[in-house]
Structures are given as C-alpha cells and as structure tokens.
C-alpha cells in the first residue's frame, strides 16, 4: 500500500500532517515543530502493510518514497519537500 502524507504549515510549532489512503483519512496530528517532525509522526503510525508514501507539502507533491528511505534520509526528504514547494510557488508568483 502507498499512502499520502500531506503537510501544511510554515513556522515552528504550527505544522500539521494528515495521512490518507485513497482519499480516506487514516490519522493526523497538528502543532508540530517542523516538516521533519511531521514525517516522523506520520511514519511512526503506519500499518505494517504500508510500503511507501507520497509526500506533499503545502499542496505540492515532492515525491513518492519507500518508507526505509524516509526513515534513513528524513532531513533530506523534508528539505526536498520544502524546496520543491517553494520553487514551484515562486515560479507561479505565489507567496
């Protein structure tokens, strides 16, 4: 199974995430300190049959990653999500 992790927020203490599968929300949390904290929370709650996750930040997908990659390269996955969203929003003239 491949789930979706959607992360919103933009300043410390105000990040939130939602994990869903086929448009059904599985679980969520809010009030986290960073994108990386959201990824940790999201992955820790996953069922054993989840193999990978599609990571979204502020409405923009940054990639689909096997769970071991998220676990071992947490900071890189988080930075990629933030940088991808910022680059696309800049190109669109948003923010």
Cβ 18 vs Cβ 6: under 8 Å: yes
Of 10 and 85, more confident: 85
pLDDT tier, 95 (very low <50, low <70, confident <90, very high otherwise): low
What digits encode the pLDDT tens for the residues 6-58?
999 977 679 999 999 999 999 999 999 999 999 999 999 899 999 999 999 99
Rounded CA-CA distance 3/64 in Å is 9
**Pairing state of beta strands 2-8 and 15-21?**
antiparallel
């Amino acid at each position: 199974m491949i789930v979706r992790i959607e992360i919103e927020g933009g300043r410390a203490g105000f990040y939130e995430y939602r994990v869903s599968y086929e448009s059904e929300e599985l679980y969520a949390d809010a009030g986290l300190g960073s994108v990386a904290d959201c990824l940790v929370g999201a992955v820790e709650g996953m069922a054993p049959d989840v193999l990978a996750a599609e990571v979204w930040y502020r409405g923009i997908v940054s990639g689909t990653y096997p769970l071991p990659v998220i676990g071992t390269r947490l900071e890189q996955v988080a930075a990629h999500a933030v940088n991808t969203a910022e680059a696309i929003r800049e190109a669109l003239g948003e923010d």
